[in-house]
Structure 1
Amino acid sequence: MPGAAAAKDAPAASEFRRGVNVLGYDPYWKHEASARFQWRHFAALKSAGFDHVRLNLFVFDKMDSKNRLPEAWLRKLDRVVDEASKAGLGIILDEHDFNACAKDVATCRVKLGAFWEQVAPRYRSRPASVAFELLNEPHAKLDAAAWNTMLVEMLAIVRRSNPTRKVIIGPTSWNSFRELPSLKLPADDRNLIVTFHYYDPFRFTHQGASWTDLQELRGVTWGSEADHRQLSEDFAKVADWAKANNRPIYLGEFGAYDKSGTPTDQRVAWTSAVAREAEKNGFTWAYWQFDSDFLLWDMKADRFVEPIRGALIPR
């Protein structure tokens, strides 16, 4: 396959190969005693074969009138980083206020800059197993022109204190691979990892999801020869872009919604196919997500959802 061959010539994001998105919607950030996620879950992820977590951070609503983050919140963040590191996991600090940024670019620029001005220096002495992701899924008003300007500003803030830290940046339209050609990165910064998210076909992965217009949709299947061919073609385009631009690729999110009644074997087939296709093309990845929905871990049963775990990391 052309794309797979091309990817062999592109650098790999070797520090973060197989990961999971964590803690984005966990009560930990407001009421630590109510947290669903426990530190032992980091050890469980490591034992299962995962090597990093992508930590989804919503911070804009935590800031005061001067866009300062509470020290108590920052200490909570320190604890997460410490515990993940103790378990032997890498950690990506992913600023996740994507919807706020899509609605108000000017406010986003100020608050996102304030976040990195506070967080980047705080982690300047951390090892390379800690990486920064400037912003999750820019979209809508934060279009390619606006995002290409903003990402340079945010990267400059980070580089003042972390000149060689790995920084993850993706294109607009919800980190769509189709927008990779519109992404403009500083050519002389070679410590960047390019991310994209993949939920295609959306009618399959998000059927029944309450936050979409597909909440009443059921019965969409996946797994035909044409489905597999489309996946391969999509990832080949990413691999070709990676080779042409000499950038490593990180598939930062993928998953199929688990509360729609879609048969588990269908979701497993899709998840496995995406993970293996990513690896075949030299992409590293993180599954969406540990709990809440798209489940990897069943909190009530206190164990992995074994079919999904096996789809991600076959034993």
Structure 2
Amino acid sequence: MRRFALALLVLSALATPSEGAPALHRGVGVHEWLNWAPLAEDGSYRRPPYRSIEQWLSGARPISDWPPTDPFETIRSLGFDFVRLSVDPGPLLASSGAERQETLDVLKSAVGHVTGAGLSVVFDLHAVTQKPEHSLDALESRADSYGALAYRKMVADVAGMLATLDIDRVALEPYNEPAFYPCEGQGTGEWQKVMSETVAAIRAVSADLTIVATGACGGSITGLVDLDPNFDDPNILYSFHMYEPHSFTHQRLDDPKAFGSGLPWPAETSTAEIVLETLKARMEAAGLSEVEQTSNLLAVQPIVDDYFRENWGEEQLDTWFAEALEWAAAHEISSSRLFMGEFGAILISEDGRMGAYDADRLRYLEAVRTQAEAHDMAWAMWEFSNPYGMSLIEPTGPAVPDARMLQALGLGDQ
């Protein structure tokens, strides 16, 4: 904690972002609209690319569930000031010339729609797995590889498009959760080259566009502190995603039939014995045999034991945030230029196979959000609407916001 206090003292004297940077404070990820770009029957990207807003909203539930208001006007009315807009880069990478310009025009219109609702936009190029040649794995290559060069050219084209918009309302995040493992200074240093050269490619197009840079290792704090910001300027934000501890935020086992849920937040509010007894009762209710229950408990017990041994709570969060703050202080970067681009926790499923109980999830969300705000960091929760347990919008029935989650996010009075 002494190191933590020192970091705060140093950071309080540092400069804030330039006046041209977007005023980002509280945001929400929108992932289902412009990601997983639809494919044609031959496996190519459909032209024109991406979904309409109506196609997005009706993708996982009846359109009649949604109110007649524009979803981005709803987001603004709830108290958010920006959207982290996930965009599948595949249609851009698969096109050139007139087709790429058509794709950029579609995306320009989409960004304009969001800013027209009074929100700023973090334009997040968010590679997905549906076409392996454009997946995140394909991007994990040397900085001078053909694929890396082609990607940077695409990023520069996106930067040029965004620079024609209201530049104090947009930011460009060129990579989401890059891998380039191992972490903790043990990597090859290739990611440093990739990020540095990507910043240079954007700056060759626009000196003022806000860039969201990230470390490797899944975009974690561990990856961030491995990054040397030798390309820094006042219009660069530095991203990290907060899913610590992963054993709490993503409670589940690889086997879809297995049970791995119910860890509390903070750990001191329950015991390992209670968690395991509850899991056993749920498995019995689901009709699992004794052999299946024993196998499941053997798989989950080490996770549960580790969680309680580490006694996860506010002190551990302090330690994680202190790493990011100390890195920023060491490089004379204001804490207000740290960007918590994702955080969240899976809600327990109806059958209890995965996730955290709602009360624990909400306590965790409030604790993480409060930590970020205490250091003037912008944050974006994951995400606005999906059927997978991390959703601001209720996953079934009328598409209304989760009122208790809004309160945990400090927006309950909006």
TM-score range, shorter chain: 0.7 to 0.9
User: Residue 356 of structure 2 corresponds to which residue in structure 1?
Assistant: 262
Q: Does 1:114 align with 2:153?
A: yes
Matches within 5 A, 1:28-43: 29-30=37-38, 31-32=51-52, 33-36=54-57, 40-43=70-73
Structure 1: gaps spanning 5 or more residues: none
2 CA distance for matches of 1:167 and 1:35?
A: 27
Asked if 2 retains the 8 angstrom alpha-carbon contact of 1:22 and 1:291, the reply is yes
- Determine helix, strand or coil for the equivalent of 1:168: strand
Task: Specify whether residues 136 and 46 from structure 1 end up closer, same or farther in structure 2 by C-alpha distance, changes over 3 A only.
Answer: same
User: Residue 263 of structure 2 corresponds to which residue in structure 1?
Assistant: 220
269-278 or 2-11, which deviates more = 2-11
- Determine helix, strand or coil for the equivalent of 2:218: helix
User: Residue 372 of structure 2 corresponds to which residue in structure 1?
Assistant: 278
Matches within 5 A, 1:93-112: 93-97=123-127, 100-103=135-138, 104-105=140-141, 106=145, 108-112=147-151
2 CA distance for matches of 1:124 and 1:205?
A: 36
Q: Does 1:309 align with 2:403?
A: no
Q: How many residues align?
A: 314
User: Residue 329 of structure 2 corresponds to which residue in structure 1?
Assistant: 243
Deviation track 1:215-257 (CA, whole Å, cap 9, x = no partner) reads 6412212214651110112112211222221222000010001
- Determine helix, strand or coil for the equivalent of 1:164: coil
Larger radius of gyration: 2
In the TM superposition, what is the alpha-carbon distance from 1:79 to its structure 2 partner?
2.2
- Determine helix, strand or coil for the equivalent of 2:57: coil
In the TM superposition, what is the alpha-carbon distance from 1:5 to its structure 2 partner?
4.3
- Determine helix, strand or coil for the equivalent of 1:172: coil
Superposition CA RMSD, Å = 2.9
Structure 2: gaps spanning 5 or more residues: 39-50, 59-65, 130-134, 269-310
In the TM superposition, what is the alpha-carbon distance from 1:201 to its structure 2 partner?
0.9
Matches within 5 A, 1:141-290: 145-187=189-231, 189-208=233-252, 216-224=259-267, 226=311, 227-247=313-333, 248-258=337-347, 259=349, 260-290=354-384
| TM-score normalised per structure 1 | 0.88
2 CA distance for matches of 1:109 and 1:11?
A: 33
Which residue type is aligned with residue 162 of structure 2?
Y
2 CA distance for matches of 1:286 and 1:128?
A: 18
Q: Which one of 8, 12, 16 corresponds to residue 8 of structure 1? A: 12
User: Residue 304 of structure 2 corresponds to which residue in structure 1?
Assistant: none
In the TM superposition, what is the alpha-carbon distance from 1:108 to its structure 2 partner?
4.3
Task: Specify whether residues 250 and 215 from structure 1 end up closer, same or farther in structure 2 by C-alpha distance, changes over 3 A only.
Answer: farther
2 CA distance for matches of 1:25 and 1:291?
A: 10
1 CA distance for matches of 2:56 and 2:128?
A: 23
- RCO higher in structure (CA 8 A, sep ≥6): 1
2 CA distance for matches of 1:217 and 1:179?
A: 27
Q: Which one of 62, 77, 81 corresponds to residue 107 of structure 2? A: 77
Q: Does 1:297 align with 2:379?
A: no
% identity of equivalent residues: 24
Which residue type is aligned with residue 35 of structure 1?
W
